[in-house]
């Protein structure tokens, strides 16, 4: 099965059979029988009803949207990719970016914060300082190496981080994480990770169930020209129908992030373009540099061995060059070091129809 297609999350067939609606999850061929009477309790696997509940501000943590099939490969790839990077991760631009990310948040002492895909805890520890000893922060990540660094820093911090807990878990399946059962948070954050997920809207809808009514979610998505060599790689993989370890083609502007948040039933407070994410602003590459990036992305960084087969690699080389050339203007390919940061909240009250 290929990933990256939100159609994988579920396909629905509405069958007018004795008032029942059937939900078909074709990854495991399970059929869940559901009543279509809106006044009855809604089963947690029924996406359209869940979306409506989200939009009405009626969802609870029981109403989380399962994203099983598409995320399994995503989580495995993430572990392969980030495990090897864990011990050097804090020395990268992510440290500075999380500092800036914090400046857009209004976290108050005593609040409960959930930091998703927390990595080594760069943002989590800053949040822990903001909520103080009367607050609580939970960081969730799937990569053992990243969590090992986070846990090491927590131990070093002693009492200062007594309010912080790290949990190993897949953020697309928070409902499977025992420690989060029945919990809701004032603030949920996700830094530098949204573009790793196959269906960003479904992922956000899943997280909204863990947000208190009126609670805030903050997350970022890449500018379309951010890490341009990776963008070309994604186009190549899509053309060759191969899996890619991220999904950023949907993130085109502040507006696309706004729409994604709104479609997930949230009220958007603000969308900000944060420039200089990694500190280089804007840069231009020559046409012939495609080859260096091809080697880096398709050969060196191919942890999932997607391009390991020689035939595939040869095909990928031609397509990579083509896609690189398509991006060039006056012989140069531009890279823009920006991200869109969205801050949105779960509605306090249900919106009335009409």
Positions touching ligand SAM (CB under 6 A) are 71, 74-75, 78, 82, 94, 98, 117-119, 122-123, 141-143, 146, 170-172, 191-193, 196
Smaller CB separation from ligand SAM, 84 or 134? 84
Q: In angstroms, what is the minimal distance from the CB of 74 to ligand SAM?
A: 6
Instruction: Compute and round to an integer the Cα radius of gyration of the chain.
Output: 21
Q: In angstroms, what is the minimal distance from the CB of 270 to ligand SAM?
A: 20
Q: In angstroms, what is the minimal distance from the CB of 55 to ligand SAM?
A: 25
CA 32 to chain centre: 27
Smaller CB separation from ligand SAM, 187 or 327? 187
What SS3 class is residue 80?
helix
Q: Using CA atoms in the order 41, 61, 214, 118, what is the torsion angle rounded to 10 degrees?
A: -160
Beta bridge partners of 22: 13, 33
Q: In angstroms, what is the minimal distance from the CB of 116 to ligand SAM?
A: 7
Run of H or E residues at 271: strand 266-274
Smaller CB separation from ligand SAM, 65 or 171? 171
Of the candidates 239, 210, 213, the one whose C-alpha atom is nearest the C-alpha of residue 2 is: 239
Size of the chain, expressed as the number of residues it contains: 354
Beta bridge partners of 200: none
Alpha carbon distance 267, 343 (integer Å)? 9
Q: Is the dihedral of CA 250, 251, 254, 260 positive or negative?
A: positive
Q: In angstroms, what is the minimal distance from the CB of 237 to ligand SAM?
A: 17
Smaller CB separation from ligand SAM, 124 or 317? 124
290-to-70, 287, 331 alpha-carbon distances in Å: 30, 6, 12
Smaller CB separation from ligand SAM, 219 or 271? 219
Q: In angstroms, what is the minimal distance from the CB of 303 to ligand SAM?
A: 12
Run of H or E residues at 153: helix 144-157
Tell me the residue number closest to ligand SAM, measured at CB.
Answer: 119
Q: In angstroms, what is the minimal distance from the CB of 337 to ligand SAM?
A: 15
Q: What is the DSSP letter of 329?
A: B
Q: In angstroms, what is the minimal distance from the CB of 218 to ligand SAM?
A: 11
Smaller CB separation from ligand SAM, 75 or 131? 75
Smaller CB separation from ligand SAM, 137 or 171? 171
Question: Contacts by 55-58 with C-beta closer than 8 Å and gap 24+?
Answer: 55/265, 55/351, 56/347, 56/350, 56/351, 57/213, 57/265, 57/346, 57/347, 57/348, 57/349, 57/350, 57/351, 58/350
Smaller CB separation from ligand SAM, 149 or 236? 149
Q: What is the DSSP letter of 297?
A: I
Per-residue buried b or exposed e for 68-81, using 16+ beta carbons within 10 Å of the residue's own CB: bbbbbbbbebbbeb
Token output for 165: 């807990």
Smaller CB separation from ligand SAM, 71 or 260? 71
CB atoms within 10 A of CB 299: 13
Beta bridge partners of 166: 139
Q: In angstroms, what is the minimal distance from the CB of 86 to ligand SAM?
A: 8
Q: In angstroms, what is the minimal distance from the CB of 142 to ligand SAM?
A: 4
Smaller CB separation from ligand SAM, 171 or 236? 171
Q: What are phi and psi of 236, to 5 degrees?
A: -60, -50
């Amino acid at each position: 099965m290929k990933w990256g297609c939100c159609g994988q999350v579920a396909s629905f067939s509405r069958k007018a059979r004795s008032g029942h609606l059937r939900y078909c999850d074709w990854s495991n061929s399970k059929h869940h029988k559901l009543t279509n009477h809106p006044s009855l309790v809604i089963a947690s696997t029924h996406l359209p009803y869940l979306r409506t509940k989200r939009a009405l501000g009626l969802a609870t943590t029981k109403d989380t949207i399962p994203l099983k099939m598409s995320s399994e490969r995503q989580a495995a790839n993430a572990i392969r990719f980030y495990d090897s990077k864990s011990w050097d991760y804090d020395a990268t631009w992510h440290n500075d970016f999380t500092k800036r990310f914090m400046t857009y948040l209004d976290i108050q002492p005593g609040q409960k914060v959930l930091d998703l895909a927390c990595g080594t805890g760069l943002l989590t520890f800053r949040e822990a300082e903001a909520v103080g000893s009367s607050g609580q922060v939970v960081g969730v990540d799937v990569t053992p190496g990243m969590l090992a660094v986070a846990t090491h820093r927590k131990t070093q911090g002693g009492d200062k981080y007594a309010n912080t807990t790290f949990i190993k878990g897949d953020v697309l399946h928070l409902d499977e994480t025992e420690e989060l059962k029945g919990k809701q948070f004032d603030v949920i954050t996700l830094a530098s990770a949204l573009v790793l997920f196959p269906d960003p809207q479904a992922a956000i809808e899943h997280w909204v169930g863990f947000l208190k009514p009126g609670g805030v979610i903050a997350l970022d998505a890449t500018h379309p020209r951010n890490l341009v060599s990776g963008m070309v790689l994604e186009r190549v993989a899509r053309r060759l129908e191969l899996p890619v370890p991220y999904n950023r083609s949907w993130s085109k502007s502040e507006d696309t992030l706004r729409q994604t948040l709104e479609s997930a039933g949230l009220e958007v407070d603000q969308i900000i373009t944060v420039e200089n994410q990694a500190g280089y602003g804007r840069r231009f590459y020559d046409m012939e540099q495609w080859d260096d990036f091809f080697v880096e992305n398709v050969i060196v960084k191919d942890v999932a061995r997607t391009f390991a087969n020689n035939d595939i690699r040869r095909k990928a080389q031609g397509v990579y060059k083509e896609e690189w050339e398509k991006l060039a203007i006056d012989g140069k390919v531009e890279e823009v070091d920006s991200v869109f940061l969205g801050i949105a909240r779960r509605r306090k009250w249900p919106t009335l129809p009409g």
